[in-house]
Structure 1
Amino acid sequence: MGTIMTGPKQEPKKRSTRLLLPASGYLTGYSYTLNPYVGCVFGCSYCYVRRMPLALFRGEPWGEWVEAKAFQEADFRREWRRALHKGAVTVFMSSATDPYQPLEYKQQVTRKLLEIMVEEPPEFLLVQTRSPLVIRDQDLLRQLGSRVRVSVTIETDLESIRRSLTPAAPPLAARWRTIRELRKLGVPVQAAVSPLLPYSGEFAQRLSEAVDRVVVDDFFRGDGSGGKRSAQLKMEARYGELGVEGLYTPQTADQFVEQLTALMPEGAVYFGHAGFMP
């Protein structure tokens, strides 16, 4: 009897996961959060996600792994339309990862999500990132117009501090360039000084010249737990190692906000929750 040829074995199709999750806690004010990836290879020392079950029970150090969420275009389009049918949709992307992980170069999950959003736009979308890769999607961001805001994290103007506390994150020069290019393209953008790290005396002036909207946050009011997660991450000790322990107080951010407010137009400077809202 001859051999029956069945062809190559087919892997079972990976089911999509739900991507739009109801916003809560610090992000109350949005309809949904959307995280295209699980994990984050930027691995910032202060990241509050380090103290969440997602990171604590993974078995691998936070900052050393990232995975694209299971995504099927047709499934997300249905999920998106269901959300739109319920009413005005406001989305924070992303709350527990950066939507522009290096893996996004290959996977393009974030870009595919934006393509679907452009077809049927939300009321508002905030894209929170520290990656220059966001420039790649300027065509889609421009189509969303005033319905989108790109929030670029730039916590300090000192590269030495960036290397000490966020060594795997994109260099500051690349982030300043990203802000300039987005503004030139007409894409709404803000600088997210979140959390404020040790900085030079020129930082406030430079921000006031680079953007027309800034949000500042700190370790005490911006980690989603009233500073408890930051304490667990021993951020005060990290400041001590850098010889700047005197800056680890809520007053540091308050004074910085005062400096910015004196330099920028009314309504351009925000602190904490309000600066991330639609």
Structure 2
Amino acid sequence: MLGVPRITPRFARVLLTIAVGITACVPSQPSDSKPDAAPKTTKKAESKPRTAPTHSAGRRSTPPNEQPPDPLLTAPFEDRFDRTDIGSDWRSLGNSWSIKNGKLCVRQARNQGIWLRRRLPINARIEFEAVSESPDGDIKAEYWGDGLSGATSVSYTNATSYLTIFGGWKNSFHVLARIDEHAPNRLEVRTNLTSPQEREKPVTPGRSYTFRVERTDGKTISWWVDGHLIHRLEDPEPLVGRGHDHFGFNNWEVPICFDNLMITPL
């Protein structure tokens, strides 16, 4: 029977040294990982940069290239044209307009009018004087238009306003039109030199006429010349609001002068 060998302290130290060396040679690796697996990384959350707001919350900013609206008329406005230049109160669409002898005069504008840089309220009274120096008459003005537009073709069929044409078409008609001065449903009266009714008489060259156009109920346009009612139009779809809030004078080709404009909010 063999005896159990005696382990001396020196021999025990040798065995311990061998065991530690073997353990150090074994790589440390989780039992469920693969030798070729790439190391796992934690992706850092990406944060979007914060930008300052471009305008205050709830406030409408003006789009690029859009001009601020013209001032709204809340009190009577008057222009007697007693100056040498048209001035900044008016927006002219062409070079045909000028001040002559204290009047706003025009010729050959071809429906490129001049707009007052003020917004009309829905209800207002517009009064002015006008003289045609031609036997063709043709005194024209626009009411509740966009303040920017003129004719884009020979025929003015795409206005933004109501139009009064006193002695139009070579002094043959007095016309109140909506948008299209050639529309078949325009209000017109044929002129007659011998008519006893003042509203039917043609324009007399060199005579000063007093015009009055007003809207008091938001839908009905009434037009008088020298106190005589020419037309009254009740519009089921009235021109109101943005794009229909300016007054302007217009002209085709005859020499016309305007004076003593008065606009009264109603």
TM-score by length of 1: 0.26
Answer 1 or 2: which has greater strand percent.
Answer: 2
